[in-house]
Amino acid sequence: MIKTLRNIFRQDKERFVVPKGVQDVIPITAIYDDGIFRVGKDKFTKTFKFTDINYAVASNEDKKEMFLAYSELLNSFDSGATTKVTINNRRLNRVDFERSILIPLRGDELDVYRKEYNEMLLEKATSSNSMVQDKYITVSVCKKNIEDARNYFTRICNDFRTILKKLGSQCVELDATERLRVIHDFYRVGEESAFHFNIKENRKKGHSFKDYICPDTMEFKKDYFKIGDRYGRVMFLRDYASYIKDSMISEITELNRNMMMSIDVIPVPTDEAVREAESRLLGVETNITNWQRRQNSNNNFSATIPYDMEQQRTEMKEFLDDLTTRDQRMMFAVLTLVHTADTKEQLDNDTDELLTTARKHLCQFAVLKYQQMDGLNTALPFGVRKIDSLRTLTTESLSVLMPFRAEEVFHEKGIYYGQNVVSKNMIIANRKQLLNGNAFVLGVSGGGKSFFAKSDITNLRLATNADIIIIDPEREYGALVRALGGEVINLSATSDNHINAMDMSKDYGEDGNPITLKSEFLMSLCEQFVPIGAKEKSIIDRCTANVYRSYLQNNYTGKVPTLKDFREELLRQPEPEAHDIALDIELYIEGSMNTFAKETNVDTENSLICYDILDLGKHLMSFGMLVVMDSILNRITENRAKGKETYIFIDEIYLLFQHEYSANFLFTLWKRVRKYGAVATGITQNVEDLLQSHTARTMLANSEFIVMLNQASTDRDELAHLLNISELQLSYITNSEAGHGLIKVGSALVPFANKFPTDTKLYRLMTTKPGESSVA
């Protein structure tokens, strides 16, 4: 027997004691605050949780890179320890789940919509499989004392984090409470929210930690067990196929049941593995030589070596070559799986389904007989291995048992954005948790862009107290905004609605100097009509300071200056350039397009505002867009001082990039909103036109939240290049139906579907399909 294996068996050997209670079934003997458990006499274990990645929808090249990175992780396992990779299928607690996603009623006129939205969320929660996959690595090592074990685990934790980071996965250590919660949730399905454990209080009271996690009863039969009223069964992978697909593990763990699958890995040092392989190869060669000698003695000199001997020689040479030249390690592995069900009949049906799935991959599971307790403790992430059905594998063959499948998006205090097409789970995202919450919604006409944005607006309006501001160039949001109690501001040269371009809140600008930012804004306005040089910039800056002097001295009280005051100040300047500027902007101040040169006469304090700019016209559009965005900047600076969030939605954002000045101002706004506690969303169908603008391209690349619905072929190519989207992922935005596509949340790129019930008031307010929408 190999020395490493002999040492492991000696370490794992322990005296069997008949358990006298359910607590005795749990193999933990001591726990420590930092999550280290002691199992047995001198064996310590530590569990690390790592996040999933989008392996299932990655391109072949990306899959290869992920495969090699996972192989590197397996190679990093210490040969002096046993490592367990665990996939935990757990059902979301329905009570906690609903409490986290449902919108509480407030007793106002919007409750009718909240009830409709909650009904939709409950329907989606019911249709989703409500299963979450957690993934763990548990390392078991024999050390003399806890300090040695702690130093060892600190070192390997850094290794795990570094390698998993290459995969795009995050690795975190679990403390004692988190590890006990994993065990508790498995033992007590449906009572997840009842878990309360405080290790310090536990020590004061002198209670056993096992009392907080163990079930009421445990009963072990020949080939199944009972935990309370639930049934369970442990199986192990007995026969491996010569060729296994990397999708086998994900297919097995797709079963919509509480389940844990563990792969125990015992790495062998390379020098020891090479000696063993050489010894076995020598044995095969000796058998072949002896066979040939017997044939020669019978004068059978042309005899061909038997197939089985030749096969053994070939396989041993390949195995030795893997160890010496292909950076492979020799490992012993055992795969165990435990699944539970409400009834014995359901348990048997699930077992048959798992056996069928394994047979499809030419592998065979077997039910453990009279070893259900040992199998259960092996499958759970305690860090013990009591099943000795070991199989010799190389790193490459073990890597095929790939634990990664699809990345989930489920943020705390997030809002619903659809369902993950791969896992069927709900996508709950909180854009505030990202590096920046700025977003783009992209797709062809009819792909569901406006509907997605309206759904987002509705959720924010019903569930939060945030301010929501919409720029609407196509008059699509009016009905929804009015129904949700918002203010629609129609802007045009002939409109009675006016916004003062010179409005300035107390918190406008940065570093306590609002004049600097307002001066830049007025330069952008003037630059649309006259070339601005150094002289003109100096004049505009001087006039800006003069116009606002009394307003600032009165602590932002009294009459706010208007563009008429600014033009009069220009005319008072001695420089001829000042008079030229005043003449160039006369049309927009004294002429027929002076809608932004008057005092504001609309309610800009409503928490839901829609700027309807459809009638601004060609000449007033760029001027008006600058004024609207400056008004928005005013609002978000006010809200920052109040600690209030602001969400900005700009439909047909490509229109803003057609004008250099509004594009530059928007770019500045896009960069500033994050530190102002605001989030901006751009919506457009002309992706190719958008990407021709360097400013827009930079904004898109730096946005952490991007929704891609059905795309034109040229747009798909551009997005694939910009965001590194694989061919398989592109298929989700090719000829897809409305509301289906890809959603990028931070580093996660998830295929999603977002369907809304058509028989609701909210649907009629949000849809833009002819004949279905409410009258705006």
Compute the distance between CA of residue 358 and CA of residue 247 in angstroms, rounded to an integer.
11
What are the CB-based long-range contacts (under 8 Å, 24+) for 340-343? 340/186, 340/189, 340/227, 340/230, 340/231, 340/232, 340/257, 340/258, 340/259, 341/230, 341/231, 341/232, 341/257, 342/229, 342/230, 342/231, 343/231
Identify the pLDDT of residue 776: 40
Number of Cβ within a 10 Å radius of residue 511: 7
How far, in Å, CA of 316 to CA of 329, rounded? 14
Give the per-residue pLDDT at 231: 96
- 10 Å CB burial of residue 776 (0-12, 13-18, 19+) is middle
Are the CB atoms for 91 and 63 separated by under 8 Å? no
In sequence order, what DSSP letters do the residues of 469-516 get, joined into one string?
EEEESSS-SHHHHHHTT-EEEE--TT-S----TT---TT-SSTT-HHH
Distance of alpha carbon 728 from alpha carbon 716, whole angstroms: 12
Task: Note the pLDDT of residue 775.
Answer: 47
Each residue of 311-325: pLDDT tens digit?
A: 999 989 998 998 888
Q: What are phi and psi of 39, to 5 degrees?
A: -120, 125
SS3 label, residue 712: coil
Q: 170-201, pLDDT tens digit by residue?
A: 899 999 999 999 999 999 988 887 888 888 88
**Looking at residue 410, what DSSP letter applies?**
B
The residues pairing with 684 across neighbouring beta strands, listed in sequence order, are 442
Structure tokens at 536: 């003109």
Give per-residue pLDDT as tens, 540-594.
Answer: 999 999 998 888 888 888 888 998 998 999 999 999 988 888 898 888 888 888 8
Pairwise CA distance, residues 626 & 526, whole Å: 11
Dihedral pair phi/psi, residue 751, rounded to 5°: -70, 135
Complete DSSP assignment for 588-619: GTTSTT-TTSS---S-TTSSEEEEE-GGGHHH
**What does the pLDDT read at residue 128?**
63
At residue 770, the pLDDT reads 65
β-bridge partners, 609: 469, 487
User: Could you tell me which residues are beta bridge partners of residue 750?
Assistant: 743
Domain spans of the chain, in order of start: 3-92+130-268+329-399, 272-313, 507-599
Q: What angle do CA 121, 123, 126 make, to 5 degrees?
A: 110
Question: pTM value?
Answer: 0.80
pLDDT of residue 512: 61
HSE-CB of 438 using CA atoms within 13 angstroms:
21
Right CATH for 3-92+130-268+329-399 from 1.10.20, 2.40.50, 3.40.462, 2.60.40: 3.40.462
Identify the bridge partners of residue 220 per DSSP, sorted by sequence position.
225
Residues in the chain where the model's pLDDT stays below 50: 775-776
| Residue 415: Cβ-neighbour burial (10 angstroms; 0-12, 13-18, 19+) | buried
Q: Which residues make Cβ contacts (< 8 Å) with residue 393, sequence separation at least 6?
A: 330, 331, 332, 333
Exposure on the CB side of residue 473, measured as CA atoms within 13 A: 19
Topology given in CATH for the domain delimited by 507-599: Helicase, Ruva Protein; domain 3 (1.10.8)
* Closest to 414 in 3D by CA, of 758, 101, 86: 101
